[in-house]
Amino acid sequence: MQALKISMTKLYFATTNINKFNEVKSILSTYNIQIEMAKLDLQEIQSDDLSKIAYEKAKDACKFLNSPVIVEDDGLFIDALNGFPGPYSAFVLKTIANKGILQLMQDKENRNAVFISIIAYCEPNKDPLTFIGEVKGSIVSGERGKVWGYDPIFVPNAANGLTYAELGSKKNELSHRKLALEQFAKWYTEK
Amino acid sequence: MQALKISMTKLYFATTNINKFNEVKSILSTYNIQIEMAKLDLQEIQSDDLSKIAYEKAKDACKFLNSPVIVEDDGLFIDALNGFPGPYSAFVLKTIANKGILQLMQDKENRNAVFISIIAYCEPNKDPLTFIGEVKGSIVSGERGKVWGYDPIFVPNAANGLTYAELGSKKNELSHRKLALEQFAKWYTEK
C-alpha cells in the first residue's frame, strides 16, 4: 500500500541544473522514489544558512507547482577561508572558479573543508521540512577529474585521496547529497 | 513650499550599518535632505543585479515602516575576477576579506574595477525607484588607509592614486554612493 502510494504521488525536484537532477534522480531511484524535473528558476535569498535558503525555495516552488516538491542546496565551507565559498557556489564558480579557490588556499596548511547538502521538501499547505547531509574532507592543491562545480578540488575523508570528480559514479555512494537524500528517503518512505 | 514639504516628510534610511548611515546622512544633508535611521535587518535576495536586490529591499522596508524609505546596496566589480566580489560584499569581507581579494589579484595585470551604488526609494503603495552611481578605478596591491569594507583597496580614477580609505571625508565628494545619492536628491527635491 505504501509502495503504491509512493509510486502514484508525483514528486517534483525543482532545479535548473540537469547534472544535479540526474545525480538526485539516480540516488533516489535506489530508494524506489521517482522524481520529475521542474525547471524553475527560483529566487534565492542571501543567507549564510543553507537550510534557510532551501526552506524558502521549497516553499516558493511548492506554491508555484501546487504539488509535493523537493529542492536542494549545497555549499562547500572551507575552514581556512572562514566558510568561504559557502552558499554562493554559483556566483563564485562563475567568477573566480576553482582556480581562484586554490589560489586563496595556496599558503594554507589547514586544508579541511565540509560539503553540506540540504534537501527541503514541501507539500501544499504545509511548512517545508529540511534534511541535512555533511561530508568532511579536504581541499587539494590542483584540480583533479572532470569539472562539475567544486568536485575536482574536494577529497572526502573516506575516499582514499580521490576527489569527488575522480570518484565518478561512486561519488553518489558517499556524497553529502547522498546523505541528505538518504535522510529524506527514510522519512518519505515511512511517512 | 517645497523646502517645507521636504523638511516635514520623514524619510528613513533602512540599514544596520552605522558607518553607511553616517556617510549617507552627511551626503544628503548637503542637499537639505534629512534622514532617520531605521535599523532593519532586511532579507536580501541573491542576484548579480544590485538594482534588483535594492528594489526588493526597499519594497520590504517600506511595507514594514509604512513610510517613505531609502535603502542602499553597493558592490565592487573587478574586471579580472569576472565581477567578483560583486553583490556579496558582507559575506566576502567576513570570510576571505581584502587580503583574499588581493591574493586573487596577485598575478593580474588588469587592475580595473568599478564600484557601483544603488539607492532605492519607496513610498507606501508605490513601486520603488532606483538611482545608480558608478565610479571606475583600480585595485591596489596592498591595503592602504583605515579599514571599512573595500575602501583600503580601491583607488578611484579621479583621486590621484589615493584609496577611498586614504581620501577620508573627501571620499564623499566623489564616491559611487555620492553619485547615486546625487541622482536621488535631484529627483527627490524636484518631485
* Average pLDDT along chain B: 93
What amino acid is encoded at B24 in this protein?
A: V
Tell me what the mean pLDDT of segment A179-190 comes to: 95
Q: Comparing B169 with B67, which gets the higher pLDDT?
A: B67
Q: How buried is A132 (Cβ within 10 angstroms: 0-12 exposed, 13-18 middle, 19+ buried)?
A: middle
What's the mean pLDDT in A148-171? 94
* Contact call for B95 and A104, based on CB within 8 A: no
Which are the catalytic amino acids of B?
Answer: 73
DSSP A24-73: HHHHHHTTT---EEE---PPPBP-S-HHHHHHHHHHHHHHHHTS-EEEEE
Element housing A8 (H / E): helix A2-8
pLDDT of residue A87: 93
Question: For residue A46, what pLDDT is reported?
Answer: 87
The chain B residue lying nearest A94, using CA atoms, is B82
What is residue B8's predicted lDDT score, i.e. its pLDDT? 54
Q: What is the pLDDT of residue B90?
A: 86
B6 has a pLDDT exceeding 70: no
Catalytic residue among A41, A48, A60, A73: A73
Helix (H, G, I), strand (E, B) or coil at B40: coil
Q: Are A11 and A33 in contact (CB under 8 A)?
A: yes
Q: What is the pLDDT of residue B140?
A: 97
Task: Answer whether B183's CB lies under 8 Å from B132's CB.
Answer: yes
Q: What is the pLDDT of residues B145-184, one digit of tens each?
A: 987 899 999 999 999 999 999 998 899 899 999 999 999 9
pLDDT of residue A5: 47
Please list the alpha-helical segments (H only) found in chain B: 2-8, 18-29, 50-65, 89-95, 97-105, 164-167, 171-174, 176-190
Interface test with B, best of A53, A59, A73, A84 (most B CBs within 10 A): A84
- The C-alpha cell at A36 is 520529475
Answer yes or no: are the C-beta atoms of B75 and B116 closer than 8 Å. yes
Quote the pLDDT of residue B7. 47
With pLDDT > 70 as the criterion, what percentage of chain A qualifies?
A: 96
With beta carbons under 8 A apart, name residues in chain B contacting A54. none
The whole-angstrom separation of Cα A97 and Cα A94 is 6
Q: Which of A45, A95, A106 sits opposite B46 (nearest CB)?
A: A45
| Banded pLDDT at B3 (limits 50, 70, 90) | very low
Residues of B66-100 as b/e, b for ≥16 C-beta within 10 angstroms? Answer: ebbbbbbbbbbbbebbebbbbbbeebbbebbbbeb
Q: How far is CA B27 from the centre of its chain?
A: 12
B95/A103 touch (CB, cutoff 8 Å), yes or no: no
Provide Rg for chain B, Cα atoms. 17
Question: Per residue in A79-90, pLDDT tens?
Answer: 999 999 999 988
Say what the pLDDT of residue B48 is.
Answer: 86
Which pLDDT score is estimated for B1? Answer: 42
- Tell me the nearest-neighbour CA distance from A31 into chain B, angstroms: 33
- pLDDT score of A127 more than 90: yes
- How much of chain B, in percent, has pLDDT values that exceed 90? 83
Task: Indicate whether B64 pLDDT > 90.
Answer: yes
Looking at residue A4, what is its pLDDT?
45
Q: Are B95 and A83 a contacting pair at CB < 8 A?
A: yes
Q: Is the pLDDT of residue A132 over 50?
A: yes
> Per the structure block, which three cell numbers stand in for B98?
581584502
> So what's the pLDDT on residue A90?
86
Q: Give the per-residue pLDDT at B2.
A: 46
Cβ contact A100–B91 (<8 Å): no
Name every residue whose Cβ is closer than 8 Å to that of residue A35 and which is 6 or more positions away in sequence.
A11, A12, A13, A21, A24, A25, A28, A70
The pLDDT tens digits for A171-183 are 989 999 999 999 9
Q: Is residue A79 among the annotated active site residues?
A: no
User: What is the tens place of the pLDDT at every residue in A3-51?
Assistant: 444 445 789 999 999 989 999 999 999 999 999 999 998 888 988 899 9
Which domains, and CATH codes, for chain A?
Answer: 2-190 (3.90.950.10)
Residues of B contacting chain A (CB within 8 angstroms): 43-48, 53, 81-86, 88, 91-92, 94-96, 100, 103-104, 106
Contact B156, B164 (CB under 8 A): yes
